[in-house]
Structure 1
Amino acid sequence: MSAPAETRPAPVPDSPPPGPGQPRRVGAGMLDPTQLWRALPQALRKLNPVTLFRNPVMFVTEVGAALTTGIAVVHPSLFGWLITGWLWLTVVFANLAEAVAESRGKAQADSLRRTRQQTTAWRLAGWEPGAPQDAYLEEAVAASELRRGDIVSVPAGELIPGDGDVIQGAASVDESAITGESAPVIRESGGDRSAVTGGTRVLSDHLVVRITQEPGQSFLDRMITLVEGANRQKTPNELALNLLLVMLTFVFLVAVVTLQPMAIFSKDAMAAAHDTAALTSNGVTAIVLVSLLVCLIPTTIGALLSAIGIAGMDRLVQRNVLAMSGRAVEAAGDVNTLLLDKTGTITFGNRRASAFLPVGAVPMERLAQAALLSSLADETPEGRSIVEFAYEKHELTERVANGAEWVPFTAATRMSGVDLPSGQRLRKGAAASVAAWVREQGGEVPLALEATVQQVSASGGTPLAVAQSTSDGRAEVLGVVHLKDVVKPGLRERFDELRRMGIRTVMITGDNPVTAKAIAEEAGVDDFLAEATPEDKLELIKREQAGGHLIAMTGDGTNDAPALAQADVGVAMNTGTSAAKEAGNMVDLDSDPTKIIEIVEIGKQLLITRGALTTFSIANDIAKYFAILPAMFAAVYPGLDRLNIMALHSPLSAILSAVVFNAVVIVALIPLALRGVRYRPSSASALLTRNLWIYGLGGVIAPFLAIKFIDFALVQFIPGI
Structure 2
Amino acid sequence: MNGHEAGHHGHAGTAAHGDHRQHDEHAEHSDNSGHAGHGSHGSQSHAGHGAGGHADHVAQFRRLFWFNLVLAVPVVAFSGAFAHLIGYHLPGGVGWIAPVLGTVMYVWGGRPFLTGGWDELRKRQPGMMLLISLGITVAFLSSWGATLSILDSGLEFWWELALLVVIMLLGHWIEMRSLAGTTSALESLASLLPDEAERVDPDTGEATAVDPADLSVGDVVLVRPGGGVPVDGAVIDGSAHVDESMITGESRPVRRGVGDTVVAGTVATDSGLRLRVTATGDDTALSGIRRLVEEAQGSSSRAQRIADRAAALLFWFALGAAVLTAIAWAVAGSGDDAVVRVITVLVIACPHALGLAIPLVVAIATERAARAGVLVKDRLALERMRSVDVVVFDKTGTLTEGEPEVTGLIAVDEGGEQRVLALAAAAESPSEHPLARAIVRRAEADGVAVPGAAEFSSSPAVGVTALVDGAEVRVGGPHLLGEAGRDPLDGTRRWRDHGDTVLHVLRGGEVIGAIAVADAVRPQSQPAVDALHRAGVEVVMITGDAESVARSVADDLGIDGVFAGVRPEDKAARVKGLQDDGRVVAMVGDGVNDAPALAQADVGIAIGAGTDVAIGSAGVVLAGDDPRAVLSVIALSRAGYRKMKQNLWWAAGYNLVSVPLAAGVLAPIGFTMPMSVGAVLMSLSTVVVALNAQLLRRLDLDPATVAGAVRADEERVPAAVAAR
**TM-score (normalizing by structure 2):** 0.60
C-alpha distance in 2, partners of 1:289/1:581?
52
Matches within 5 A, 1:103-118: 103-116=180-193
1:180: how far off? 6.7
* Contact 1:458-1:514 within 8 A present in 2 as well: yes
Partner amino acid, structure 1, of 2:540? V
* Contact 1:333-1:606 within 8 A present in 2 as well: no
C-alpha distance in 1, partners of 2:673/2:317?
26
1:41: how far off? 1.6
* Contact 1:627-1:654 within 8 A present in 2 as well: no
Q: 1:345 to 1:46 in 2, by over 3 A?
A: farther
Q: 1:439 to 1:145 in 2, by over 3 A?
A: closer
In the alignment, which residue of structure 2 is the partner of 1:670? Answer: 690
Matches within 5 A, 1:148-227: 153-157=219-223, 176=244, 178-179=247-248, 182-183=253-254, 204-207=273-276, 209=278, 213=282, 220=286, 224=290, 227=293
Specify which of 484, 494, 500 is matched with residue 455 of structure 1.
494
Specify which of 543, 560, 568 is matched with residue 526 of structure 1.
560
In the alignment, which residue of structure 2 is the partner of 1:57? Answer: 128
1:381: how far off? 4.7
In the alignment, which residue of structure 1 is the partner of 2:176? Answer: 99
Specify which of 632, 640, 643 is matched with residue 598 of structure 1.
632
Q: 1:607 to 1:348 in 2, by over 3 A?
A: same
C-alpha distance in 1, partners of 2:154/2:287?
53
* Contact 1:356-1:482 within 8 A present in 2 as well: yes
In the alignment, which residue of structure 1 is the partner of 2:343? Answer: 290
Q: 1:682 to 1:221 in 2, by over 3 A?
A: same
Q: 1:297 to 1:115 in 2, by over 3 A?
A: closer
In the alignment, which residue of structure 2 is the partner of 1:347? Answer: 400
| Structure 1, gaps ≥5 residues long | 1-35, 125-131, 134-138, 269-281, 360-365, 391-397, 420-424, 642-649, 688-721
C-alpha distance in 2, partners of 1:205/1:593?
31
C-alpha distance in 1, partners of 2:391/2:296?
30
SS at match of 2:400: coil
The yes-or-no answer on 1:241 pairing with 2:312 is no
C-alpha distance in 1, partners of 2:565/2:296?
43
Q: 1:538 to 1:112 in 2, by over 3 A?
A: same
Partner amino acid, structure 2, of 1:322? L
C-alpha distance in 1, partners of 2:166/2:568?
56
In the alignment, which residue of structure 2 is the partner of 1:41? Answer: 62
1:408: how far off? 8.9
The yes-or-no answer on 1:68 pairing with 2:139 is yes
In the alignment, which residue of structure 2 is the partner of 1:326? Answer: 379
1:590: how far off? 2.9
In the alignment, which residue of structure 2 is the partner of 1:21? Answer: none
C-alpha distance in 1, partners of 2:155/2:564?
76
CA deviation vs aligned residue, 1:479-538 (integer Å, no higher than 9, x gap): x88766554456455445545766543212232102211211332333222233322224
Matches within 5 A, 1:320-719: 320-335=373-388, 337-349=390-402, 370-371=416-417, 375=421, 381=438, 450=490, 452-461=491-500, 487-488=521-522, 491-492=525-526, 494-495=528-529, 497-498=531-532, 503-544=537-578, 551-556=585-590, 558-567=592-601, 569-574=603-608, 576-621=610-655, 624=658, 627-628=661-662, 632-635=664-667, 637=668, 641=669, 651-652=671-672, 656-657=676-677, 659-676=679-696
1:371: how far off? 4.2
**TM-score (normalizing by structure 1):** 0.60
Q: 1:301 to 1:386 in 2, by over 3 A?
A: farther
1:665: how far off? 3.0
C-alpha distance in 2, partners of 1:41/1:542?
50
In the alignment, which residue of structure 2 is the partner of 1:703? Answer: none
SS at match of 1:521: helix
* Contact 1:329-1:603 within 8 A present in 2 as well: yes
CA deviation vs aligned residue, 1:218-263 (integer Å, no higher than 9, x gap): 7656755765789613223421331133123312321222220212
C-alpha distance in 1, partners of 2:651/2:374?
31
SS at match of 1:100: helix
C-alpha distance in 2, partners of 1:106/1:657?
35
C-alpha distance in 2, partners of 1:562/1:171?
40
In the alignment, which residue of structure 2 is the partner of 1:693? Answer: none
1:62: how far off? 4.3
In the alignment, which residue of structure 2 is the partner of 1:305? Answer: 358
Partner amino acid, structure 2, of 1:660? V
Q: Which moved more, 1:115-124 or 1:605-614?
A: 115-124
Partner amino acid, structure 2, of 1:589? A
1:307: how far off? 1.0
Partner amino acid, structure 2, of 1:651? F
| Structure 2, gaps ≥5 residues long | 1-56, 66-108, 121-125, 147-152, 430-436, 700-705, 718-724
CA deviation vs aligned residue, 1:190-230 (integer Å, no higher than 9, x gap): xxx98x866668964452546695xxx87656755765789
C-alpha distance in 1, partners of 2:209/2:441?
43
1:153: how far off? 2.3
Partner amino acid, structure 2, of 1:663? S
* Contact 1:72-1:80 within 8 A present in 2 as well: yes
C-alpha distance in 1, partners of 2:58/2:614?
41
Q: 1:502 to 1:383 in 2, by over 3 A?
A: same
1:317: how far off? 0.9
* Contact 2:598-2:606 within 8 A present in 1 as well: yes
C-alpha distance in 2, partners of 1:405/1:492?
35
1:607: how far off? 3.2
C-alpha distance in 2, partners of 1:686/1:505?
13
C-alpha distance in 2, partners of 1:39/1:686?
48
SS at match of 2:391: strand
Partner amino acid, structure 1, of 2:495? V
Specify which of 307, 316, 327 is matched with residue 369 of structure 2.
316
Q: 1:538 to 1:246 in 2, by over 3 A?
A: same
Matches within 5 A, 1:265-276: 265-268=331-334
C-alpha distance in 1, partners of 2:535/2:543?
24
SS at match of 1:114: helix
The RMSD of aligned alpha carbons is 5.8
Q: 1:653 to 1:614 in 2, by over 3 A?
A: closer
SS at match of 1:532: coil
C-alpha distance in 2, partners of 1:485/1:683?
32
Identical counterparts, % of pairs = 21
C-alpha distance in 1, partners of 2:359/2:110?
13
In the alignment, which residue of structure 1 is the partner of 2:104? Answer: none
SS at match of 1:676: helix
CA deviation vs aligned residue, 1:325-352 (integer Å, no higher than 9, x gap): 4344334445454331223422344566
C-alpha distance in 2, partners of 1:111/1:554?
27
C-alpha distance in 2, partners of 1:600/1:95?
31
* Contact 1:341-1:507 within 8 A present in 2 as well: yes
Q: 1:144 to 1:406 in 2, by over 3 A?
A: closer
- Greater RCO, CA 8 A, separation 6+: 2
* Contact 1:83-1:287 within 8 A present in 2 as well: no
* Contact 2:197-2:222 within 8 A present in 1 as well: no
